[in-house]
Each structure stands twice: as structure tokens, then as C-alpha cells.
Amino acid sequence: MFLEIALETCLAQNHDFRVETIVVPDRMTPEVVAVVERFKPKWPGELSIQPLPMPERVVLPKLNNAFHNYGVQLLTGVQASRGSHVILHDADLFHMERDALDTRYRETADNGLNVSGISPVWDTWFADNDIHIAATWELCANRDWLRAFPRHFHLGHDGELLGEQHTFDITLHAQALSDPAKIRVFPHENIVHFNFVIGAYREFQKSSGPYLDDQFRMLLIRLFIDLFAEDREIYRELPEFDGLMRGLTNENERVFYPRATPELQTKYRDFRVKLDRIIEAEWMSNPERREEAARSLAPFDAHYGYAVVSS
């Protein structure tokens, strides 16, 4: 379902510089293949699936670790890519401008950069040590620069830098060892990024008892399933909306929610503002979808004191 939404997002983008689009699923399923095949006839240019290599294709689903998945997905896509640059597009990130991906490429190539991003890396250890590098979401990188490093430098790992041991997230060790003049951050405000949605779903799958959805990621996934999924039956492990609603007052439900403290009200409001931008986006604009979303979210809006203002 998130693949379907991600492809809709990218389909709405201008594509003057796009060589190909590579889908790298953390798990190959018939549903992934079906979604890609459904988009191929209307896709501008080449659209393909690149499965994870062996033995990772077998081992990673058993580990169910989003951190490991992402690193191997990156290496797999870079190895398969034919373009001079690659853009890492997160399935839970939404562009509100049609030229966002083309702009990402031009900012990188025109400035002769190895790497450019849309936000600084989340790990403040680097900035504290005067190392200024880019976060991985929507990262645009020179393909040859990526391939020049040993594979493990782009994976999450523990290593040494500046005489200290540190845990490096995806691509960060390679960036930290590179010419800082060839790494830039170009902030882009007109995006919506929920962060760690797929990873949270994998954590939910690994859990066996009640799952605390204090980041509202299961709520987001259930909403998107109901609004956009071609086949809702394959998501039976995630409770329907009535089950999520019971979790507002019962901590023993499969998914449950914290009480409405001021902190949680702020967190929910931030989540809802992002969600409203998605539902109102041009490429997704549909009055019936907006009305269904409003009905489904009404109990959560009431619980956390979020007021929807119509104009």
C-alpha cells in the first residue's frame, strides 16, 4: 500500500532528468509485483523491481530489522542503478511540489557535489564535532561516490572517527570521511515526512502483546489502508478502526494509545497537520477520501482535543 502511494507521488513529479525508477522492497511479495505491474503502462521511462540479493533476501525478513533492511536496500539499488546520481526516496515521504526530484538532482549535479540532502543529519554528534552532513531521506548522491566506498561504510555499524567510537547510520561514515565542500544541505520545506513508518510497522509485527502507538504510526497505516489499498484483506494483523478506537481507553488492546496529556496533544496535532496536507494534496485530492478520513479520525480528534476548522 505504501509502495502504491509512493509510486503515485513519484508519478506526479516532473521527470526531465530521470533515467529509471528502481523499487527495492525489503520483502518480495506477489502484491509488490502486482503494484509495479499496474503502474508500468503509465510510467514515464523505466520502472523495475530489484530484489535483495541472496542470502539477504532470506535472512533479513527473519531478522525483521528495519535498520538492516534499509542499508541493504540502499546497496542493492545503487549497484543496479545506471544513472549518474541516485535519489533515495522514502515511501513515507510526500512531495508537495511537482519539480522536487528534478530539483534534488540539479542542486547536486550543477554544484559538482557528491551528496546533497534536504535536512542535516539527525545525529547531533557530527555537528558537535564540526562535521556537517546530510540525513538520508531524499538524499541525492553521485553514484560513483557511493560505489567508491567499501559496502559496510554505507551500512549501519559501529566504527571509529576522531579517536572516538560511534554508531554510524546509513551513509554517515562515508559522508564524514569525504570532502565537506562536496556535501550540502538544501532545506526544502514543502514536503511531508512521517519518519519511521515502515520500521514501526515491522516493530509492531515483532510484538506479541499490546503495542503502544504513541507516534500514531499504526493509526496512519490503517487510515491509508482504508483509503488507498487495493486489497484490504492482506492487512488482517493490524486492527480495524474500531479496534484502534478501543485502544484509546483500553491498554489491553492489540494497539493502544496514551492518555491526552499536553505533550501528547501537541504530538497528535503535529501528526494531524501533516496528514491534512497529504489528504488535501493535488495528486490525492478526492472529496470522498477526505470525508472518509474525517469520519475515521473523529474519535481520535476528540480524544486529543484536535479541532478541524472548515473554511
Residues 15-28: pLDDT tens digits?
999 999 999 998 88
Q: Where are the domains of the chain?
A: 2-191, 194-303
What pLDDT does residue 310 have?
52
3-state SS of the chain is CHHHHHHHHHHCCCCCCCCEEEECCCCCCHHHHHHHHHHHHHCCCEEEECCCCCCHHHHHHHHCCHHHHHHHHHHHHHHHCCCCEEECCCCCEEECCCCHHHHHHHHHHHCCCCEEECCECCCHHHHHCCCCCECCCCCEEEHHHHHCCCHHHHCCEEEEECCEEEEECCCHHHHHCCCHHHEEECCCCCEEECCCHHHHHHHHHHCCCCEECCCCHHHHHHHHHHHHCCCHHHHCCCCCHHHHHHCCCCCCCCEECCCCCHHHHHHHHHHHHHHHHHHHCHHHCCHHHHHHHHHHHHHHHHHCCCCCCCC
CB 38 within 8 Å of CB 45: no
Question: CB–CB of 198/66 below 8 Å?
Answer: yes
Among 74-83, 133-142, 271-280, where is mean pLDDT lowest? 271-280
Compute CA distances 107 → 83, 113, 179, 187, 190, whole Å: 16, 8, 17, 11, 16
Does 65 score more than 80 pLDDT? no
pLDDT at residue 262 in the model: 95
**Higher confidence at residue 293 or residue 261?**
261
Mean pLDDT on 42-53: 95
Q: How far is CA 118 from CA 17, 56, 152, in A?
A: 19, 30, 24
Measured over the CA atoms of residue 268, residue 270, residue 276 and residue 279, the dihedral's sign is: negative
Question: And the C-alpha cell for 151?
Answer: 559496502
Tell me, what's the pLDDT at 66? 72
Written as nine digits, the cell of 302 is 476528540
Question: Looking at domain 2-191, does it have CATH number 1.20.120?
Answer: no
116-146 confidence digits (pLDDT tens): 999 999 999 999 999 999 999 899 999 999 9
Among 51-60, 140-149, 173-182, 246-255, which stretch is predicted with the lowest mean pLDDT?
Answer: 51-60
Q: What is the pLDDT of residues 184-195, one digit of tens each?
A: 999 887 888 887
| Mean pLDDT, the chain, integer | 90
CA angle 80, 81, 85 (to 5 degrees): 150
Q: Is the model's pLDDT at 296 over the cut of 50?
A: yes
- In this prediction, residue 292 carries a pLDDT of 85
